Structure 1
Amino acid sequence: MDLELLFCKSKVFVHPSRSAVDNVPGFLIISREAHEAKHDSVLAWIPERSLDSRQLQWLNDADLDIDKVKRRSPGILSSTRSSWSFSMKIGYLYSIEFRPPSTNGWWYGSVVLHSKCSNEDDSLPVLFFHDDICPSTELKRKELNKSFDPFSSSGEIYWGGVDFRDAIASIVDLQRTALEPTIWLINATLDDLRNFSPQRMNDDTGKDYNNDLSVNDVVWNKWESAKWGLMSRIADATSKTGSYMGNLIRQHPLVKFAERNSDNPYVRKLLANPRVQEVQDDFDSARVYLAKWALGVKQQADDYQRTHEQSDIYRSLLKNELGIDGENDVQFTDEELNRALERNYPVTKQKWDSFFDSQGRLMITVQEVKDHIFHGGIQDMELRKEVWMFLFGVYFWDSSTDERLQLDQTLREVYEKGYKESWTNRKPHEDAREEEYWQDQIFRIDKDVKRNDRHMDIFKYNTADGKKPESGADSVDEPGGTIDEGSNNWILKNPHLISLKNILVSYNSYNPNLGYVQGMCDLLSPIYYVVRDEALAFWCFVNFMERMERNFLRDQSGIRDQMYTLSELCILMLPKLSDHLNKCDSSNLFFCFRMLLVWFKREFEFKDVCSIWEVFLTDYYSSQFQLFFMLAILQKNSEPIIQNLNQFDQVLKYFNDMHGTMDWNDLTTRAELLFVRFAKMMSIMSRKKELLEPLNASGGAITSGIELHDIDSDEETHAGKEQLPCDSKYLRLLLSKEVVKQREGPREPDSVK
């Protein structure tokens, strides 16, 4: 059996009795078979007396310098058993308790291992670290003393158990519990972590445990509850700026209609606004959106507000059932706040690996994985590369490692020999208009790629290797020559920018009806940066665009529906802000256009954008959670807006200047709370409607036997005729996790792109 040694610590004792003469020294080791994954490593304790002199020397050498021996595998790791020795897979452990030594030397530091199987705990001895005679611990202490720093990297006094804990943390996900700092959970679920939170302890009983129980009793009771909860689950589970584009835009019927009505002073003033022009310069679609809004969306929003003004009937009902203060837009219970605030456990590489079995198949539910991602995020970019392949739908959640490798190969071939080859070997189109359209698409893609995220390291320098040129110039076309990037008169050399262009042109071939629209490069850039593979990034982008295509439709119906939904949400959840925006002539919510179009790509730092997208892509609560994130931004800024802004220009400038000023984590928490509140409000309104239907059908008599204490007969009759927000198809759709998809229709010669 070919084994690899990962960790070794000598002079780890078992204390069978109170007498020191009975203490048994041994080695605490971690090993794994060469073909197994790291998280399948085995933890073992072997007493010194069961070893021969050669084996003893080998492990003593490993204690001092494991790199010298880790590739060797003598029979020691599978030696015969003796009393107190044990061996078990690390993944079978539920937790480890690390008890540091006393500072005055009265007792040794020790670790207590807790298995997921309760009957195994009795067979696992408490392990004591005799640091005073352990060569590796003594050596490290001397090194620390030379620097006058006796602390480990974690900030605690160094002892042998720290080395063991660091080794475990490099193999599995190890999380310290908030309730008891000495207890660390292995591959814990979010429910396990929540069970050990102090807030959960108090919430479960409605009182402070400290008034009735000792701290040890509290820990033990919660320990047993969390442990057996886990065991029960285990048991149950067996645009080109030229005449061509200008003519196309002017040919759009909405734009034509707007221009015919350009004598309308309101429309003329809006379209000439310099702040609006700034957005139009970045996104051609903004002009079409404004035309659409100017012709009808504002009237729809005004009609909705008049029809759905918050009546005293269900305001009273919401206040009674949810504790909402009618004077405030949003209030939350402590329970809702506690859950939303538990965002301290990012998914680590070790945690991610623990989700899968030896074949690479998921061992927990997809919803559990999404819970981890939604509430904790992904720890680093390297892991994000793997997780995003699932979130973007390239990998199936129920696939194995081998199936994913085969899929990789197939997807690369289809991309290279199918879509990419279709345009790299393309001949000019016989139809001059089609050829002009194609060349315009290439021009637009090339222009957007050249200005894409040039502050990012891999996109910054236009050199053949993407690295900083020796001259020190930011972008160099020819040696010693600095580029005027605004001119676009330079050739792409950066391999990553070239890949961006290849993907966008290939997508043009994949989806010729939509083609390229400004903003799509914004969506591709984070995907490519994370994945760093042209073919796989293409398929992530293809799947992403199935969800995002609705933002780029020629008639703007997809983005219009989202803005209209947001308007209804704001009226329902933030009525005071909604009223004020209406007075500011901002009920069209145009200031939200760019944020929703490219999912807040230009409002946050790059790493924050990645974290925000991960939350959205889980569809944990809703497939349109981006609207609640936008609502959270509105809610967070409602007071400054109401108190200080009173004009459309001011509101637009306020939101356009938000880049780098917002805390995405805070906004995600607020968005979750807003959704929870929204879902409850919709449920209450639906129940109210059900209760009033038999009343209206019987002419006023309640036939169901249910009494509505807070509603008199006049209010009941009025409410029965009133259309509640829960009847809105837009708001109801927010409760669905199914992704909303809209596809562009066939492209006509005069279609606006």
Structure 2
Amino acid sequence: MSTDLLFCKGKVFVHVSKRSEENLAGFLVISKDPQQSILEATVSWIPEQELTGKQVDELSKADLRFAGGEGSFGKLKMSKDVVLQASYVAWGFSIRLGNIYSVQFRHPSPSGWWFGSIAIHSKIVQEQNSIPILFFHDDVCASTREKQKRLAQAFDPFSGSNDTYWGGDDFRDAMIRLVDFKQTLVDPSIWLVNATLEDLRNFASSGAKTTSNEVNETEDVSSSLWNKFDQIRWNLMSKFADLTTRSTDTVVDLISRHPVVKFVDKHSSSPYVRQIMTNPKVQEIQDDFDSAKIYLAKWALGVKEEAERYQTKHGLNDSYRRLLFSELGNDGENVELTEEEINIAMQRSHGLTTHKWESFFDSEGHLSITVEEVKDYVFHGGVKDLEIRKQLWLFLLGVVPWNSSASEREILIKTLREEYRANYRCKWEYRQAHADDEEEAYWHDQVLRIEKDVKRNDRDHPLYKYNTDDGRAPPESETMDDEDAVDDLWRIRNPHLNKLRSVLLSYNIHNNNLGYVQGMADLLSPIYAVLQDEELSFWCFVNFMERMERNFLRDQSGIRDQMLTLTDLCQLMLPKLSEHLNKCDSSNLFFCFRMLLVWFKREFSFDDVCSIWEIFWTDFYSSQFQLLFMLAILQKSSWPVMQNLTQFDQVLKYFNDLKGSMEWSDIMIRSELLFIKLRKLVEINDRRAELKEYTLVSRQGAATHEAAESPAEEETDECVLVTPRLRALLQKELVIQREGPRKKDSIR
């Protein structure tokens, strides 16, 4: 009986004592049975002395093939008995990949004083005691010497790389290919296997320094590592390094004291401002002073965006943290953000990779971690490998259940495909050909609305750009200009645009009461672009519209409720901005309508919108997190708006022209911190209300009812104004509002 050999390395020793002649040579292998998942693969070490001469010869050849790049997944085989005996021979061991917590790599001494080694640490305490430290004797390993020769011949002195190859590098590279294998910042010698998000956060500090190179004995290495884990693993958030450089201070100063931000009130006579006003773009509009102020407000926001982008790119996290704390840290209501809360919101570098996503599921495809853990990854790290979205979005949008197995999902998807073709696509095709007189006008109007929006949909995206039969660029001899110029006349030929049309027509059959409303194509387009599958796009869109239908109700009650909630939010969280907008006749926040209607689809790039939406779909904090995102945009723009804009049309134009001027990840961080502050405000309000009620009852027991009423009225102002709409923001349950029955003559 054979098993797939995924990795093999010879001349890997166990030092059983301080006497070198007693060292045991063996093979370090990774193997997996064909029916097993990758997490069920095993890492084994087998002493040479326990193998037959034939087995040693086969493994030695496999070692050379892997070193030469010839070994690949499933192509090399070895006897299953070799792996089995590793579990019961002296010093041998076998551990599942899924049980490995971490691996520590100790590079060999350049002077040859010690060998390079690895320490494998198990999640299972009992198993840990049976795993010895493994030493790579590169001087007697044929595959390592052969690879060292090849690397020496190809050596580039100008490459800038200071890393010296050793045998442990091959094991590290194999682990990277097989699982989610991440190097920690707290100690670069430690690599985590399929780490949880909590572990990644715990090991994020760059303050700790590795000292393992000074340790020679097996017991000392193990003790040193686990002592380090005792100090780090249970720390929810390590202290970030204090980066106080000249460039950091310059960036902070640029943000807080830039003269453009204070142009109108304080610096109109400044030579610097006069120099700004010579800018050609300002010159073009300086006759219209209102427009000039809008430009300057946007320019001031741009200064902040560029400064924060510079901080992120150059790792100036401490500066950005101070900026967030100064803008959001304390609002005068004794609601202060903690260092830990800001750090967690800022740590968005642990994006989902293919290996990490696959590690979430067992061999049958069942989720092996909680749904909240998956959503935490999405919310705080997003998706790094974009192919994952094709699977992830089916879960986030409820097309497939989180508690299903791989086989159950396969059956469900097959059923949904058949249902779409039979119950929806066939119905609208039949209806289009056989519409009765009463419905003909309505159906014809719906088709025209859909086609008009589809034709204009995301025409700068590669999938939708060219209206050709294959969706590709036409030959140079052909032109699209004349065809595209007459928007209502040209026929849709692009296959992807035609599938958008089919899905929207099918949804019209599915939800005939709502009908088609402008903007729905904007919501479908990213879903189809990611999945590129008509049937699955339909079901994702159906579930997406569960929460979005309230945006398109005929009486606009759904979007109105959100606007009222946003107004309450602004009054509570941004009182100064709220007061200023009131002076500008903009207290109703009408300028936010479009952004909320299609979830910021027009304000951010296509890829950014995908990242934003999948975070919203998690409902990690709230099912209405889009309102916190909108609030963060208001908060980010508050200073430029309050300093430069005084009229309704100025405010409207400013926010309508924000497209491409905001960094979505910065807005998302601010959204999270604003939500945390809102939650704290509600908790404080509730505690004050409970205390007030208790005090009132106590006073009523000691005095007359009339005497107790007066003090209670004096304490009313201590409670912040928390409306039921604001309380609803703390809930994760979807807010669903349906359109009422449609009349036969109902045309929007």
TM-score, with structure 2 as normaliser: 0.79
Q: Structure 1 stretch 395-404 or stretch 488-497: which is displaced more? A: 488-497
Q: How do 1:203-214 and structure 2 match up within 5 A?
A: none
- 8 Å Cα contact 2:100/2:123 also seen in 1: yes
Describe the superposition over 1:23-80 as per-residue Cα deviations: whole angstroms up to 9, x where unpaired.
3332222111111222321111223333334333332332233445742424264364
Q: 1:145 deviation in Å?
A: 3.9
- Quote the Cα distance in structure 1 between the aligned partners of 2:51 and 2:141: 18
Q: How do 1:608-623 and structure 2 match up within 5 A?
A: 608-623=608-623
Which residue in 2 is equivalent to 1:457?
A: 462
Which residue in 2 is equivalent to 1:83?
A: 90
Which residue in 2 is equivalent to 1:110?
A: 117
Which residue in 2 is equivalent to 1:725?
A: 721
- In the alignment, residue 57 of structure 2 is paired with which amino acid? Q
- Quote the Cα distance in structure 1 between the aligned partners of 2:628 and 2:416: 34
Aligned in 2, Cα 1:536/1:323: closer, same or farther, shift over 3 Å?
Answer: closer
- Quote the Cα distance in structure 1 between the aligned partners of 2:232 and 2:126: 16
Look up the SS of the partner of 2:9 in the other structure.
strand
1:738 to 699, 720, 733: 733
- Quote the Cα distance in structure 2 between the aligned partners of 1:64 and 1:423: 62
Aligned in 2, Cα 1:323/1:624: closer, same or farther, shift over 3 Å?
Answer: closer
Look up the SS of the partner of 2:77 in the other structure.
coil
- 8 Å Cα contact 2:685/2:719 also seen in 1: no
Look up the SS of the partner of 1:632 in the other structure.
helix
Look up the SS of the partner of 1:484 in the other structure.
helix
2:193 to 176, 186, 189: 186
Q: How do 1:55-74 and structure 2 match up within 5 A?
A: 55-66=55-66, 67=70, 70-74=74-78
Q: 1:189 deviation in Å?
A: 1.5
Which residue in 2 is equivalent to 1:173?
A: 180
- Quote the Cα distance in structure 2 between the aligned partners of 1:737 and 1:200: 37
Alignment of 1:367 with 2:363, yes or no, is no
Q: Structure 1 stretch 389-398 or stretch 21-30: which is displaced more? A: 21-30
Which residue in 1 is equivalent to 2:155?
A: 148
Aligned in 2, Cα 1:366/1:576: closer, same or farther, shift over 3 Å?
Answer: same
Q: Structure 1 stretch 566-575 or stretch 642-651: which is displaced more? A: 642-651
- In the alignment, residue 740 of structure 2 is paired with which amino acid? G
Which residue in 2 is equivalent to 1:405?
A: 410
Which residue in 2 is equivalent to 1:306?
A: none
Aligned in 2, Cα 1:660/1:193: closer, same or farther, shift over 3 Å?
Answer: same
Q: Structure 1 stretch 367-376 or stretch 192-201: which is displaced more? A: 192-201
Q: Structure 1 stretch 585-594 or stretch 144-153: which is displaced more? A: 144-153
Q: 1:694 deviation in Å?
A: 4.6
Q: 1:185 deviation in Å?
A: 1.5
Q: Structure 1 stretch 517-526 or stretch 645-654: which is displaced more? A: 645-654
1:421 to 403, 422, 426: 426
Q: 1:156 deviation in Å?
A: 4.3
- Quote the Cα distance in structure 2 between the aligned partners of 1:587 and 1:376: 35
- 8 Å Cα contact 2:514/2:553 also seen in 1: yes
5+ residue gaps in structure 2?
209-219, 237-290, 292-327
- Quote the Cα distance in structure 2 between the aligned partners of 1:649 and 1:215: 68
- In the alignment, residue 638 of structure 1 is paired with which amino acid? S
- In the alignment, residue 408 of structure 2 is paired with which amino acid? E
Q: How do 1:113-132 and structure 2 match up within 5 A?
A: 113-132=120-139
Q: 1:153 deviation in Å?
A: 12
Describe the superposition over 1:332-360 as per-residue Cα deviations: whole angstroms up to 9, x where unpaired.
22122122122221122222222222221
- In the alignment, residue 691 of structure 1 is paired with which amino acid? L
Which residue in 1 is equivalent to 2:230?
A: 224
Aligned in 2, Cα 1:722/1:752: closer, same or farther, shift over 3 Å?
Answer: farther
Aligned in 2, Cα 1:450/1:330: closer, same or farther, shift over 3 Å?
Answer: farther
- In the alignment, residue 394 of structure 2 is paired with which amino acid? M
- Quote the Cα distance in structure 1 between the aligned partners of 2:688 and 2:721: 12
Q: 1:388 deviation in Å?
A: 0.9
- Quote the Cα distance in structure 2 between the aligned partners of 1:525 and 1:329: 44
Q: 1:368 deviation in Å?
A: 1.7
- 8 Å Cα contact 1:39/1:91 also seen in 2: yes
Describe the superposition over 1:461-512 as per-residue Cα deviations: whole angstroms up to 9, x where unpaired.
2333333344386x75xxxx87425524332222222111111110010001
- 8 Å Cα contact 1:550/1:557 also seen in 2: yes
Describe the superposition over 1:590-614 as per-residue Cα deviations: whole angstroms up to 9, x where unpaired.
2211211111112112222111112
- In the alignment, residue 545 of structure 2 is paired with which amino acid? M
Which residue in 1 is equivalent to 2:604?
A: 604
Which residue in 2 is equivalent to 1:54?
A: 54
Q: 1:679 deviation in Å?
A: 0.4
- Quote the Cα distance in structure 1 between the aligned partners of 2:16 and 2:160: 33
Look up the SS of the partner of 2:431 in the other structure.
coil
- 8 Å Cα contact 1:356/1:363 also seen in 2: yes
Look up the SS of the partner of 2:118 in the other structure.
strand
Describe the superposition over 1:681-720 as per-residue Cα deviations: whole angstroms up to 9, x where unpaired.
01111221222235556777889xxxxxxxx997741444
- Quote the Cα distance in structure 2 between the aligned partners of 1:394 and 1:33: 32
- Quote the Cα distance in structure 1 between the aligned partners of 2:387 and 2:692: 55
- 8 Å Cα contact 1:150/1:157 also seen in 2: no
Alignment of 1:636 with 2:636, yes or no, is yes
Which residue in 2 is equivalent to 1:748?
A: 743
- In the alignment, residue 598 of structure 2 is paired with which amino acid? V
Describe the superposition over 1:402-442 as per-residue Cα deviations: whole angstroms up to 9, x where unpaired.
11111011100100111111011225566545212211211
Q: How do 1:31-50 and structure 2 match up within 5 A?
A: 31-50=31-50
Q: How do 1:593-742 and structure 2 match up within 5 A?
A: 593-696=593-696, 716-720=712-716, 724-726=720-722, 728-742=723-737
Look up the SS of the partner of 1:65 in the other structure.
helix
Q: 1:155 deviation in Å?
A: 7.9
- In the alignment, residue 469 of structure 2 is paired with which amino acid? A
- In the alignment, residue 689 of structure 1 is paired with which amino acid? A
- 8 Å Cα contact 2:457/2:521 also seen in 1: yes
Which residue in 2 is equivalent to 1:545?
A: 545
- 8 Å Cα contact 1:31/1:43 also seen in 2: yes
- Quote the Cα distance in structure 1 between the aligned partners of 2:500 and 2:581: 39
- 8 Å Cα contact 1:112/1:126 also seen in 2: yes
- In the alignment, residue 449 of structure 1 is paired with which amino acid? V
Aligned in 2, Cα 1:199/1:228: closer, same or farther, shift over 3 Å?
Answer: closer
Aligned in 2, Cα 1:579/1:97: closer, same or farther, shift over 3 Å?
Answer: same
Which residue in 1 is equivalent to 2:330?
A: 324
Q: 1:636 deviation in Å?
A: 1.4
Which residue in 1 is equivalent to 2:397?
A: 392
- In the alignment, residue 24 of structure 2 is paired with which amino acid? V
Aligned in 2, Cα 1:702/1:430: closer, same or farther, shift over 3 Å?
Answer: farther
- Quote the Cα distance in structure 2 between the aligned partners of 1:356 and 1:115: 19
- Quote the Cα distance in structure 2 between the aligned partners of 1:702 and 1:380: 67
- 8 Å Cα contact 2:335/2:681 also seen in 1: no
Q: How do 1:531-542 and structure 2 match up within 5 A?
A: 531-542=531-542
Which residue in 2 is equivalent to 1:95?
A: 102
Aligned in 2, Cα 1:149/1:142: closer, same or farther, shift over 3 Å?
Answer: farther
- Quote the Cα distance in structure 2 between the aligned partners of 1:329 and 1:562: 27
Q: 1:553 deviation in Å?
A: 0.7
Look up the SS of the partner of 1:487 in the other structure.
coil
1:340 to 338, 345, 348: 345
- In the alignment, residue 93 of structure 2 is paired with which amino acid? F
Which residue in 1 is equivalent to 2:490?
A: 490
- Quote the Cα distance in structure 2 between the aligned partners of 1:364 and 1:592: 38
- Quote the Cα distance in structure 2 between the aligned partners of 1:139 and 1:64: 8
Q: Structure 1 stretch 652-661 or stretch 691-700: which is displaced more? A: 691-700
- In the alignment, residue 731 of structure 1 is paired with which amino acid? L
Look up the SS of the partner of 2:129 in the other structure.
helix
Which residue in 1 is equivalent to 2:566?
A: 566
- In the alignment, residue 202 of structure 2 is paired with which amino acid? N
- Quote the Cα distance in structure 2 between the aligned partners of 1:171 and 1:455: 37
- In the alignment, residue 343 of structure 1 is paired with which amino acid? R
- 8 Å Cα contact 2:681/2:720 also seen in 1: no
